[in-house]
Amino acid sequence: MSATTLDQASDRSSPSGRLRSTMCATRVSFTWLGTQKTLTREQRAQAAESFDAQGEFLSAGKKLLDTKNARFKAVTSARNRIRGFWTSMSLPFPEPGIRLIRQDRVDTFQDWMNQLRVELTEAVEALDEDYLSLKSAARQRLGRLYNEADYPVSLSGLFDVTWDFPNIEAPSYLRQLDPQLYQAECERVQARFDEAVQMAESAFIEELSGLVSHLTERLAGQQDGRAKVFRDSAVGNLNEFFERFRSLNIRSNEQLDSLVSQCQQVVQGVQPQSLRDDAQLRQTVSRELSSVQSTLDELLVDRPRRRIIRTPK
């Protein structure tokens, strides 16, 4: 086995190596119509007169459309679902707008994104049916600030989502052009994956801590002499976390793995209604989760601050 092959095999045994060999980068981008517009200099000057102020020292804008409209909110919800799905099946990466997904789930990612994009398109088409009435309402609200030129003829194509799989490895052509620069780029990429491991651990710890803290507080707390009411989602969200952790975990932190396993055992098979009806069960689960929470709190305090990796000039 060559030295290079040995290095690669050794690298795959490390958390960052497993991350690098099993994940790929994804980037999700939105085209989104702006609903705010800055006032012109003349309009700012007119607005400033009412405050006896100077226009150049006043910052002001106008809202072009009513974003509380039900169909506009449906478009926003479609965007939130896309972001939520992307986040749920990916890990953070220390480059803006990029997250890591498992290579063996790219087809699943593609299928779901295509379906969610159709839902976004349908929501935009429904909003476009209300567009004339939204413009009419804006004309009444804005008065002299209304400007027809601020509004496109149609909303078609002005709300959209695209995604791609950017290369985050060192460009191979640098190996021949400038071996020293290529080596520096390889080290930079490796440092980013090392940081991605820390970011993944921190994200899992923070999410689990929040879920455990919420459920423990609802189980142990009293309100009007009775146990606090909690939603089924307080338990359901934990179970969803366990599934996502199992899917995305790169086995980088044995203590975190142990805590997740311990927490899963505490709530395994426990139904929300049983927690409401059985005070003893509620106390037992609350006590055991409190123990998990204490260790999670220590991990949160001990987490290293994110390092800022600067590209060599």
Q: What is the DSSP string of the chain?
A: --HHHHHHHHHHTSHHHHHHHHEEEEEEEEEE---EEEPPHHHHHHHHHTTT--GGG---EEE-S-TTSHHHHHHHHHHHHHHHHHHHT-EE-SSTTEEEEEGGGHHHHHHHHHHHHHHHHHHHHHHHHTHHHHHHHHHHHHGGG--GGGS-S--TTSEEEEEE----SPPTTHHHH-HHHHHHHHHHHHHHHHHHHHHHHHHHHHHHHHHHHHHHHHHH-EETTEEPP--THHHHHHHHHHHHHHHH-----HHHHHHHHHHHHHHTT--HHHHHH-HHHHHHHHHHHHHHHHHHHHHHHHPPPPP-PPPP-
pLDDT per position as a tens digit, 29-49: 999 999 998 888 887 777 777
Residues 30, 82, single domain; the answer is yes
Residues 150 and 204 both lie in one domain: no
Q: What is the pLDDT of residue 211?
A: 95
Boundaries of domain holding 269: 174-302
- Answer yes or no: do 61 and 128 share one domain: yes
> Which pLDDT belongs to residue 275?
87
Q: Are residues 95 and 204 in the same domain?
A: no
Q: Mark whether 109 and 241 lie in a shared domain.
A: no
**Does position 225 have pLDDT exceeding 60, yes or no?**
no
pLDDT-wise least confident of 98-107, 124-133, 251-260: 251-260
Q: Look up the pTM and report it.
A: 0.84
**91/151 same-domain check:** yes
Residue 76 falls within a domain, yes or no? Answer: yes
My answer on whether 148 and 184 are in the same domain is no
Q: Do 220 and 159 fall within a single domain?
A: no
The answer to whether residues 99 and 184 belong to one domain is no
Give the pLDDT score at 1. Answer: 37
Single residue among 124, 141, 164 that ends a domain in this structure: 164
